[in-house]
Structure 1
């Protein structure tokens, strides 16, 4: 593999032109995709972001530490050999085997490309080789490029999200990939995007029967205690990335339309089922056939009112930077009901077990109140700090007091306190702090996307987060 020099501090470099195309294996859509369908990011038209503002310093430190851990000690402990075809051994095709390296790749690719990578324990050149290994292997093993059922992944309940992480990392790393690797990346992303445009456009996602709504408009609860908001907005993320990366692809119009539909379905509340409001050309009261959140902005997941899934609307807000990287406006649908949900975090009060009430965000502290408990663990400050930042940058905290910027500081300072306990950049210690096996990778993926949002919002050429 080539030796690649470290990138200059905090400035994006130009991407090389795309190379030739190779036909992908047959997919669910009618048109295949290859590397020459991808529009490289025009870094030369973007400015820079020094990251010297207070929020920028916090997010930079989180991204630098997390990416250093993931592409350093974590990678070295998991990927110990190359296979005969030159790819690393992913050791499976399930979520642990695919999603975790995809999130690690996104964290590392973002840090390396933006100059925020910390090389104190692994050089940028070696980190680049490892990051490329993750991206090229994940894309090559997707079923769009791989006929072996023992080693291929894709077309599953959550695989659109895994493809999103991989493709975004690869797009940032485009100049580091060869022609075959670019082809694999495009084919993978198009496959997953095409799959999400099939099936009933109102009730279902794909042929597998996954619901768009927890509650139908007639009041029937289809999936008790299990909002479909998170699934809808991670599927929308994949569609948005495909449409932005491959704007001239024959299926781009379908991807664009389905993205808007899923964004609206994700945040639909009962109030949306009446009236004449239109967003991105869709009349909510007639198109929506159900809801995923309550009118007060709360939602349920894991059979409880769950704040961690309320802040999962971060995936909708990330569309601002995805479109902004090609100087396009993101759909207004991505902002739908964000203010409503954020108000429920900050202003709405809930009963305490011993009497009295408390909001989810407790005054002047990073502590989070979970009204019905949290089944994922005890320490999640960056999940909230990340969402606070996005809400602040997109001005979705209008009328909410305190404003999102105050909460971002409190929550992200608490995140940095967690990281300060270790020297290798990780966040978590005891398993009880966060029981998800991809807990470190989730921090890295959020930090990457938070940083990219800051880069577009506070760019030297002006704020490039726009909504149409």
Structure 2
């Protein structure tokens, strides 16, 4: 797996210019899209990252294996023919039909552009074709340009996240996409970003939309046992990507502001309501109308204290690479209360059923302690290992011992041990290990985004993760 050239295997990418959505005008059966250009990544100003350090070697192996499985065996058994309009059959418009291929596309696109893709069972050209098929189909089926009510998706609770994955994969693989697909991607991302930027200080989408906070500032618990942290930061992800991919859009300022608001709301704790902090121009004590995490850094989801949702702040930290690929500083709001939450994972003691206490991160072990149980299964080392690496790279483990780098090694070694059980790159065996139907795709999407963060943090031109 060669890493020669700029940003890994750079022969996959050329020097494309901005491609506008104006090429969509007049396409039969599709609504006209705003002529806002997608600004591609300028790889010429980015250095390289060989991935030779220990963390890089672990993450390379995880991304290479996961992407090889997703764009290889999984794709081959899931998509077997083209529809008459030239697109593949997504077989629906729900999470399984849209989110899973979008995550697979992110994993494959990131592996291809960074030179971490493993071609032992599927060549680079064929993997590129398959990844392009996923991107172009997903973008074409979004309701922004698709009037067919039976095949269109978008405008739902989680669709901003699906759009983020699709657009990110397209941004990475931009030189292998035609002008129509670029237009679809721009229209899709702008449509979802505009939807997210219309709420008020209490609700995510208008006064009848999804809640922004689990607990309002007067103490009213709006969504018992269900923090809104994850929803807030996945919605912020779509806004951040829209801001850097479509910087010439007339609504970009509103998107950027809403991105910051959602990041701050996601990690808001009671102490913020009486503090003096101002972040990215927002005074927390006066703007926040509620909270999503406790002052000790824990949060609740699925009616329990849930470590898996504590590490969902990985989506906030990914903004470092999103802005970094555009040579811009990410909003400081993305780092808000990350240290508080990470300290709760590493140092906070919880009662054990047999007596005594243990932190969530079991001392000198890769094992995770779930104080109130885990309803998703038994094996999640990479969920924590990828978060460990993000926390380490962004310096959010200051004053915490053991360090995030120590935990990254333990958790990602455990992840690699799971993968060695199979020859095709997958992670999981029995469904009880992880009951989510997109479990392999989730590994791939996390590995892709964490690797991109690592590339920018340990770049040959210096650390390119910047925070304004």
| TM-score, L = length of structure 2 | 0.95
Question: Which secondary structure does the structure 1 equivalent of 2:151 belong to?
Answer: coil
CA distance in 1, matches of 2:102, 2:43: 23
CA distance in 2, matches of 1:123, 1:201: 49
Counterparts of residues 13-412 of structure 1 (less than 5 Å) = 13-20=13-20, 21-23=22-24, 33-34=34-35, 37-206=37-206, 208-412=208-412
CA distance in 2, matches of 1:388, 1:292: 21
- Confirm or deny that 1:10 pairs with 2:14: no
CA apart distance, 1:32: 5.1
8 Å contact from structure 1 (residues 143, 188) kept in 2: yes
8 Å contact from structure 2 (residues 24, 184) kept in 1: no
CA apart distance, 1:206: 4.0
CA apart distance, 1:442: 0.1
CA apart distance, 1:16: 1.2
Distance change in 2, residues 1:61/1:305 (3 Å): same
CA distance in 2, matches of 1:282, 1:155: 28
CA distance in 1, matches of 2:226, 2:102: 25
Alignment RMSD (CA, Å): 1.5
Question: Which secondary structure does the structure 2 equivalent of 1:109 belong to?
Answer: helix
CA apart distance, 1:207: 5.8
Q: Deviations over 1:317-343 (max 9, x none)?
A: 000000000110000000000000000
**Unpaired runs of at least 5, structure 2:** 27-31
**Unpaired runs of at least 5, structure 1:** 1-5, 26-30
CA apart distance, 1:200: 1.7
Aligned residues between the structures:
457
8 Å contact from structure 2 (residues 111, 448) kept in 1: yes
8 Å contact from structure 2 (residues 226, 303) kept in 1: yes
CA distance in 1, matches of 2:134, 2:147: 19
CA apart distance, 1:209: 1.6
Question: Which secondary structure does the structure 1 equivalent of 2:143 belong to?
Answer: coil
CA apart distance, 1:165: 0.2
CA apart distance, 1:11: 4.3
CA distance in 2, matches of 1:397, 1:17: 39
Q: Deviations over 1:376-421 (max 9, x none)?
A: 0000000000000000000000010000000000000000000000
Question: Which secondary structure does the structure 2 equivalent of 1:168 belong to?
Answer: helix
CA apart distance, 1:205: 2.6
CA distance in 2, matches of 1:24, 1:187: 12
8 Å contact from structure 2 (residues 201, 288) kept in 1: no
CA distance in 1, matches of 2:205, 2:271: 23
